Amino acid sequence: MSINTIPIVDLSQFTQGDDRGKQQFVEQLGKAFEETGFVSVRNHGVSQQLVDDYYAAVQKFFALPTEVKKKYEIAGLAGQRGYTSFGREQAKGFDAPDLKEFWQMGQIVEDGDPIKNEYPDNVSVPDVAGFDQKGRELFKAFEKCGIELLQAIAIHLGIGEFYFDKYVHNGNSILRAIHYPPITQEPKNAIRAEQHEDINLITLLVGASAEGLQLLSKQNEWLDITAPEGCFVVNVGDMLQRLTNNRLRSTTHRVVNPPREKWGNPRYSIPFFTHPKSSMPLDCLASCVDERHPLQYEPITAGAYLDERLREIGLKK
């Protein structure tokens, strides 16, 4: 199955439409996140030119010699800033590392908020012209889109449109650029990215350069997912599932290896992981707990939960 496995919604209905259009978007998004945990979003407001420019810069970065890229792999940052070399990360519950290398940049605090002291500095890459600037621009564009989607989710949950704003503004979000190199020999018990669920509130994924993304359906079937041209794929993360006591679904997904005849093709993707501030409580919302839906999770903060998960996937000791 293909793109028809997930609904397509139009974010401009929410950001620019009338009350009816806004409510229609909220209902469509909420239904998709309750049933599949995934949705394609069109008219998201992020410039395609900016996406293309950053993709070009990302490909130049990953084409650098390994010894040059290693300069940007900073010990002690648990992969949260800078470069993470091939084979360092594995999915929770799996021993074999994923067949990828990646780059991460984090929050850019520009308003004097003291929370800046909680975040490590982003790593600058003078070896690739425009890499830093285009990354910052894309981060902010993704962040704006993520906040708008969370406002719609908050309306759906009945907790007030701007519930998430105070947590996501200057939150611990991450822009990740991933390179899955060509496969040169039979993989040993590993695929490009083993099945997993994302840690954060929501993930925004701009179209990857090659096929391979799959989600696990309620019927326990793997379904191929490809965003229509100009769309983002957006999915629920574990933090949002936890907050909503499983009302919204953090769906298992993976990136499979291509057919053998396409092993020589690399794959690139750029997900944006919308994270809140570490102080945000992930206690299940009272409106999502009742006799039919008993409490599933103990209270924890977003920061403590992230720390726990980074250890599980091998990025933090």
Mean pLDDT across the chain, nearest whole number? 88
Flag whether pLDDT at 134 surpasses 70.
yes
Flag whether pLDDT at 174 surpasses 70.
yes
Q: How many CA atoms lie within 13 A of 33 on its CB side?
A: 30
- The rounded percent of the chain whose pLDDT value lies above 70 is 87
Alpha helices in the chain (DSSP H): 12-15, 19-35, 48-62, 66-69, 131-157, 165-168, 238-243, 302-312
- The rounded percent of the chain whose pLDDT value lies above 90 is 64
Return the closest-CA partner of residue 302 out of 151, 62, 147, 118.
Answer: 118
Flag whether pLDDT at 91 surpasses 80.
no
The predicted pLDDT at position 272 comes to: 96
The predicted pLDDT at position 196 comes to: 79
Q: How many CA atoms lie within 13 A of 214 on its CB side?
A: 19
The predicted pLDDT at position 264 comes to: 67
Convert the pLDDT of each residue in 188-211 to its tens digit. Answer: 666 556 777 889 999 999 865 446
The predicted pLDDT at position 54 comes to: 95
**Could you tell me the end-to-end alpha-carbon distance of the chain, in angstroms, rounded to an integer?**
39
What average pLDDT does this structure show over 158-168? Answer: 97
Flag whether pLDDT at 3 surpasses 90.
no
The predicted pLDDT at position 155 comes to: 97
Tell me the domains of the chain and their CATH numbers.
3-312 (2.60.120.330)
Convert the pLDDT of each residue in 12-47 to its tens digit. Answer: 999 999 999 999 999 999 999 999 888 999 999 999
> Which is more confident, 93 or 272?
272
The predicted pLDDT at position 2 comes to: 42
Q: Tell me the pLDDT band of 88, cut-offs 50, 70 and 90.
A: low
Convert the pLDDT of each residue in 242-301 to its tens digit. Answer: 999 999 989 888 877 766 777 767 888 899 999 999 999 999 999 999 999 999 999 999
The predicted pLDDT at position 186 comes to: 65
Return the closest-CA partner of residue 130 out of 47, 209, 56, 205.
Answer: 56
CA atoms of 54 and 67, how far apart (whole Å): 22
Flag whether pLDDT at 93 surpasses 60.
no
SS3 (DSSP) at 123? coil
Flag whether pLDDT at 95 surpasses 60.
no
The predicted pLDDT at position 96 comes to: 57
| 9, 40 contact by CB (below 8 A) | yes
The predicted pLDDT at position 1 comes to: 35
- In sequence order, what are the beta bridge partners of 106? 174
Flag whether pLDDT at 180 surpasses 80.
yes
CA atoms of 250 and 240, how far apart (whole Å): 8
Q: How far is CA 157 from CA 141, 146, 243, 277, 288, in A?
A: 25, 16, 11, 20, 8
Residue with tokens 């806004």: 22
The predicted pLDDT at position 16 comes to: 95
